[in-house]
Amino acid sequence: MLSKNIEKALNNQIKIEAESSQIYLAMACWAEVKGLEGVAGFMYDQSNEERDHMLKLVKFVNERGGHAQISELAAPNVTFNSFKEMFEKLFEHEVFVSNSINELVHITLQEKDYATHNFLQWYVSEQIEEEAMARTILDKINLIGDDKGGLYLFDRDIQQLTVSTASTEDPQ
């Protein structure tokens, strides 16, 4: 059974994950109308992934005796000055989500809710990957600079991007 405090915190995270999905959907739309099909596809995939993260939380709250709340969402930014700025915003948002997950984990430890703590470990690992991916993309964008050919290749290759992190690597 979830405490009211943890239920409230989880419902806040549900909202954050839903807003994340909307943010990536807005980024996908922006990229698509700019002709960045690869970036758009990547962002559509990210939007779906964030929605899946939200649904996982919804199911958990309901299964643990709480009531998942679906709330109004903040409208995402829909315009960007450049694709670099868009990815910088993506990185900033992932750091924000990581901080939110960390705060949620802290609350579960304070309340000795080890079942929820255990459940949230998946999100902790996921955020390590999300931040690493955003950093890798920004590094590639900085390498490209203003090179249009580089942008073309980046747009083509981004859908194949996979990032290996310490949490996903198989220790030898």
Q: What is the pLDDT of residues 48-83, one digit of tens each?
A: 999 999 999 999 999 999 999 999 999 999 999 998
Q: What is the pLDDT of residues 118-142, one digit of tens each?
A: 999 999 999 999 999 999 999 999 9
Return d(Cα 155, Cα 129) in angstroms, integer.
21
- The alpha-helical segments, DSSP class H, found in the chain are 4-33, 37-63, 83-110, 114-144, 148-157
Count: domains in the chain: 1
Look at residue 47 in the predicted model and tell me its pLDDT.
96
Range of the domain at 68: 4-160
pLDDT-derived band at 151, boundaries 50, 70, 90: confident
Q: What is the pLDDT of residues 12-61, one digit of tens each?
A: 999 999 999 999 999 999 999 999 999 999 999 999 999 999 999 999 99
Q: Is residue 102 part of a domain?
A: yes
Q: Is there a binding annotation on residue 50?
A: yes
CATH of the domain at 86: 1.20.1260.10
Look at residue 155 in the predicted model and tell me its pLDDT.
87
Q: Is residue 93 part of a domain?
A: yes
Return d(Cα 142, Cα 153) in angstroms, integer.
14
Q: Is residue 172 part of a domain?
A: no
Stated pTM of the model: 0.90
Look at residue 162 in the predicted model and tell me its pLDDT.
55
Q: Is residue 68 part of a domain?
A: yes
Number of residues written out for the chain:
172
Q: Is there a binding annotation on residue 69?
A: no
Look at residue 168 in the predicted model and tell me its pLDDT.
53
Q: Is there a binding annotation on residue 127?
A: yes
Q: Is there a binding annotation on residue 103?
A: no
pLDDT average, residue stretch 142-170 = 74
Return d(Cα 4, Cα 129) in angstroms, integer.
30
Q: Is there a binding annotation on residue 19?
A: no
Q: Is residue 170 part of a domain?
A: no
Q: Is residue 16 part of a domain?
A: yes
pLDDT at 171 over 80: no
Q: What is the pLDDT of residues 91-119, one digit of tens each?
A: 999 999 999 999 999 999 999 999 999 99
Q: Is residue 126 part of a domain?
A: yes
pLDDT at 161 over 80: no
Q: Is residue 25 part of a domain?
A: yes
Look at residue 53 in the predicted model and tell me its pLDDT.
97
